[in-house]
Amino acid sequence: MSGMVSRMAEIDDPRERREDALTTRIAATMRRKLAKDYPPAGTRRDAHPKHTGLLEGVFTVDPALPADLRVGLFAEARSYQAWVRTSSASDKPQSDAVRDVRGLAIKLLDVPGEKIPESDEPQTQDFLLLSHPSMPLGTVRLFHDAIVYAARYSPLVFAAKMLLTGRSGVLKELDAARIRPSSPLEIRYWSTTPYRFGADRVVKYSLLPTPGETSPLPAELPEDYLTRAMAQRLASRSVSFEFAVQFRKEGMPVHDAAPRWDEAVSPFVTVATLTIPAQDFRTEERDRLAEELRFSPAHALVEHRPMGPVNRARMRVYRENAEFRTHRRETG
C-alpha cells in the first residue's frame, strides 16, 4: 500500500500521464528487436549488451558517517561482497574503439532489509551508473521515441524528429556522452536518475576513481582494448572508487533526468568505498555470469526507492525483457 501511495504522489507531471502506455510500447519494441537480432539460445540483454568485464568487488560503508547519512544501506559500518559489470551502451555489440556511453553496474550481495515491491531479488541492492552526468533521453517520451523510431525505421528518423522539433540539443548531448576512455576503471560514473535517501530526501549517485590517475590510450585499439586494460591493471593491483551521494535542492528536477544537478549548489558527499581487488576475470564462467546476472534499479531497499518516470519505465522494461531472455534461453 505504501508503494502505491508513493507512486501516486510522485506522478504529478502531465507530460508523464501516458507513461504506462509508452513503457508498454518500449518493452514490446525491445522484445521484437531481441527476437529478431539473436537466436533464442543466444539472446543478449536489451541494455548494455556488451560487457567489458565482470569483476568481484567489496563495497564498504564509511564507518565515520555522521548520523544524518546513516540511512538504509548506510545505516551500519559494514562491507558487502559485490559484482561489478562494466559495459558499453550500444544496442549492438561493437568494437571498444568506437566512441560510446560506458556503463558500470554494481550488485551488492546479502543485503538485509525490506526491498521495494517491484524487486524480484530479496537480498541484493543494485546501482546502475553511466559515464555521463546526465541522461540526454531524460523523459519517458524521449526514451520511447529513440527506441521505437530506431527499431521501426532508423536512428536517422529519430534524429530528424529532434531537429524538426527544435531539440537539436538532445542530439548534441547524446554525441557528447560518447567517449573513448583508456580504461573503465579510470573514469567517473553517475546514476543520472534520482533515488530516495530515507523518507524525505532524494539523491543521485556518483562513483569517482581514486586517486584519479588516467593512462594514455594505446597506439592501437583492438576491439577488446577496454577489457585488456582492466586485465593488465588488475593482474597486479587493486582499484578503488569513492561512492558518493548528491542531495536534491530546490529546483533540481526529478521528472526529467536530462538536466544535471549543479555540484556547486549541492556537492557530492562520499558515503562508501568500492574496492576491486586484483583478479583474473577473463574466464568462460565469468563471461557466462555476466550475461545471466540481472541488474535493475528495482533491486533496491525501500529507503533507496528509484524516483521519477524514467526509473519507473526502466524497472518495468528491464524486468519484462529479462524474463523474455530467460524464457528464450530455456526453451530455445
Length of the chain (residues): 332
| 332 residues of the chain, pLDDT tens digit each | 444 444 434 445 555 558 888 888 888 888 777 677 666 655 565 567 899 999 999 999 999 999 999 999 999 999 999 999 999 998 888 999 999 999 999 999 999 999 999 999 999 999 999 999 999 999 999 989 988 888 888 889 999 999 999 999 999 999 999 999 999 999 999 999 999 999 999 999 999 999 877 889 988 999 999 999 999 999 999 999 999 999 999 999 999 999 999 999 999 999 999 999 999 999 999 999 998 899 999 999 999 999 999 999 999 888 887 777 666 666 65
pLDDT for res 46: 57
Helix (H, G, I), strand (E, B) or coil at 318: helix
Hey, which residues does 102 pair with through a beta bridge? 88
CA 151 to chain centre: 21
Helix (H, G, I), strand (E, B) or coil at 56: strand
For 5-26, b/e burial (b = at least 16 CB within 10 A) is eeeeebeeeeebeebeebbeeb
Whole-angstrom distance, CA of residue 108 vs CA of residue 79: 9
Position 73, amino acid:
L
- E-state strands within the chain: 50-61, 79-88, 102-108, 125-130, 189-190, 195-196, 202-210, 239-247, 269-276
Whole-angstrom distance, CA of residue 216 vs CA of residue 32: 40
Q: What is the DSSP string of 215-226?
A: PPPPSS--TTHH
CB 157 within 8 A of CB 205: no
pLDDT for res 1: 42
pLDDT for res 152: 82
Distances (CA, A) of 241 to 51, 58, 70, 237: 19, 11, 20, 14
pLDDT for res 246: 98
CB 202 within 8 A of CB 314: no
What letter does residue 44 receive in the DSSP assignment?
P
User: Which grid cell sits at 307?
Assistant: 524516483
pLDDT for res 11: 43
Helix axes 155-164 and 168-176, enclosed angle (nearest 10): 130
Helix (H, G, I), strand (E, B) or coil at 74: helix
Position 193, amino acid:
T
Whole-angstrom distance, CA of residue 117 vs CA of residue 101: 30
pLDDT for res 91: 80
Respond yes or no on whether the N-terminal peptide bond of residue 211 is cis (omega within 30° of 0).
yes
Report the predicted TM-score, pTM, of the whole model to 2 decimal places: 0.89
Whole-angstrom distance, CA of residue 27 vs CA of residue 23: 6
For 145-169, b/e burial (b = at least 16 CB within 10 A) is bbbbbbbeeeeeebbeebeeeeeee
Q: CB-hemisphere CA count at 13 Å for 262?
A: 6
pLDDT for res 317: 86
pLDDT for res 327: 66
List domains and CATH numbers for the chain: 2-331 (2.40.180.10)
Residue 12, C-beta contacts closer than 8 angstroms, at least 6 positions apart: none
Residue 94, C-beta contacts closer than 8 angstroms, at least 6 positions apart: 50, 88, 100, 223
Instruction: Determine how β-strand 50-61 pairs with β-strand 269-276.
Output: antiparallel
Number of H helices, E strands in the chain: 8, 9
What letter does residue 329 receive in the DSSP assignment?
H
pLDDT for res 32: 79
